[in-house]
A and B are shown apart, each in its own frame.
Chain A
């Protein structure tokens, strides 16, 4: 049985703490994650874009843009709530300092997830901005990519905190990337359409939450509405709630003895 208490708006205290620390050192860890997707977008567009001139009616750069937005929301959120959360929880014992104040463990974990989601979503939005400046956004509906980034961020943040709650050491964060996150990044339709995959792989790809997010982002930037976007949104929201509640219970079990 997992026991937990209702979190309060003091979760923002944890969020604020993480924000303040981030701005002390954003030059090193903030810019790095923004440079990578932008570089992929430009370089892949220049290189592969010459070979693949058209893909599902778009240029190659138009095709990978939305996928990179979703993929980097995921990577940044998972990174923040993987190593970042582990460091604050077990290495620096920052959580121990917070929970002896009116901030509860549920507030701390909620704040951690909100912070991971924020970092992911901000990265996604910055990539979106670059894509828009480059002229690869074809619809005003693209503004809805912003809430889609938030939803994607919350899901992957909650997933990552759940994983971190079970990690016995920081060494366990890296395999989560190599076994779960990177394969998802390459299969979820970021770089090529899922329809190019063999049938079995297509079904598998559609089971991945990142696929839903990429699908939502891509359709929003193209300006059309599909049923898959609705299912994807419902799926991400439901799984976010599931992993959020699970992470609260598992973290309480780990930290409150």
Chain B
């Protein structure tokens, strides 16, 4: 990535490792997040995304390697770093005994924001998240999507220099998810720096300027969504439908002819074919095929042999 002199990376991770007892959750990863960038960690459950996010949030000790937030070591200056972060947790942890506004005001106290200023900011962040009408509502009257937006509003109360989102739309219905995406896009336009985890291909493609694809504690590939797709799977995917008993043989045959291929469940996925189908022994006119644009799910499938949701 671009090394901007005098402008330190917001996050810099070098050979970062996280172990829980014998289990290695994060296995020596390197990445950086630059100012005003939305960086995503894409991977299935258990890939080590949340562990990474928790280390950045200074609530999980680094086992080894180096992790800097704005040039500060997370193990040495957690309090200073945490004052500049906005963290949106995966699990909703609002104070359901208090109304929406009071939730924000109490949270602002953790950052030592004076009362009047906190009220101003609370109205501001409720506006950004389109929750102004819910200002005095009780938490249990909010929908799942509203709660998620309130969590984001709460994370913005200290005007963070880095917004961290752990699976920001997991568990939301499509409409609520789109609303959250819309709000996060808005924040991006205003120049926010974000680091998020997700196992939704669509979310990663939609929001992230740059991505790291993670699996089993390692980063398998990194780049812009477009770069990742073009570099690993090409622009187009051919889905070849064959009878289940013919699938393994067909895949082996295609692999033998140096084609990029993955098991797509009820079909065989061929990548990077670009007019080479006849060379792979496939007659386009006779075979049962569908051509479509390649996506990040395909990249993950090709790199790991498994789907993101599995």
Footprint of B on A, CB under 8 Å?
Answer: 8, 10, 13, 16-17, 20-21, 24-25, 92-94, 96-104, 256-257
Q: Contact size class for B?
A: 20 to 34
Say if the beta carbon of B106 comes within 8 Å of chain A: yes
Cα-based distance from A97 to B98 in the complex (angstroms): 15
- Shortest distance in angstroms between B154's beta carbon and chain A's nearest beta carbon? 8
Q: Which of B70-89 contact A (CB under 8 A)?
A: 78-79, 82-83, 85, 87, 89
Chain A's closest residue to B78 (CB) is A104
Q: Given A100-B82, A102-B79, A102-B112, is A92 in contact with B61 using a C-beta cutoff of 8 Å? A: no
**A99 lies within 8 A of B93 (CB):** no
**B91 lies within 8 A of A96 (CB):** yes
**B93 lies within 8 A of A13 (CB):** no
**A10 lies within 8 A of B60 (CB):** no
**B112 lies within 8 A of A97 (CB):** no
Cα-based distance from A17 to B109 in the complex (angstroms): 9
**A21 lies within 8 A of B79 (CB):** no
Say if the beta carbon of B134 comes within 8 Å of chain A: no
**B61 lies within 8 A of A256 (CB):** yes
Cα-based distance from A16 to B109 in the complex (angstroms): 9
Cα-based distance from A98 to B58 in the complex (angstroms): 12
**A97 lies within 8 A of B89 (CB):** yes
Contacting residues, chain A, for B97 (C-beta < 8 A): 21, 24-25
Q: Given A92-B96, A93-B93, is A102 in contact with B110 using a C-beta cutoff of 8 Å? A: yes
Looking at B85, B96, B102, B110, the one whose CB has the most chain A CB atoms below 10 A away is B110
Which of A8, A97, A257 makes the CB contact (< 8 A) with B107? A97
Cα-based distance from A25 to B57 in the complex (angstroms): 32
Which of B60, B85, B112 makes the CB contact (< 8 A) with A256? B60
Across the A-B interface, the 5 shortest Cβ-Cβ residue pairs: A101-B110, A100-B87, A93-B93, A97-B93, A21-B97
Contacting residues, chain B, for A17 (C-beta < 8 A): 95, 106, 109
Chain A's closest residue to B25 (CB) is A257
**B110 lies within 8 A of A103 (CB):** yes
Cα-based distance from A21 to B107 in the complex (angstroms): 13
Cα-based distance from A8 to B58 in the complex (angstroms): 17
**B59 lies within 8 A of A100 (CB):** yes
One digit per residue, 1 when the CB lies within 8 angstroms of any chain A CB and 0 when it does not, for chain B 39-57 equals 0000000000000000001
- Shortest distance in angstroms between A83's beta carbon and chain B's nearest beta carbon? 14
Cα-based distance from A99 to B107 in the complex (angstroms): 11
Contacting residues, chain A, for B93 (C-beta < 8 A): 92-94, 96-97
Contacting residues, chain A, for B87 (C-beta < 8 A): 100
Say if the beta carbon of B20 comes within 8 Å of chain A: yes
**B57 lies within 8 A of A100 (CB):** yes
**B95 lies within 8 A of A257 (CB):** no
Contacting residues, chain A, for B82 (C-beta < 8 A): 100-102
Give 16 CB contacts A-B under 8 Å.
A13-B109, A20-B98, A20-B102, A21-B95, A21-B97, A24-B97, A93-B93, A97-B94, A100-B85, A100-B87, A102-B79, A102-B110, A102-B111, A102-B112, A103-B110, A104-B78
Contacting residues, chain A, for B102 (C-beta < 8 A): 20
Chain A's closest residue to B151 (CB) is A97
Contacting residues, chain B, for A97 (C-beta < 8 A): 89, 93-94, 107, 154
Contacting residues, chain A, for B112 (C-beta < 8 A): 102
- Shortest distance in angstroms between B202's beta carbon and chain A's nearest beta carbon? 27
- Shortest distance in angstroms between A135's beta carbon and chain B's nearest beta carbon? 39
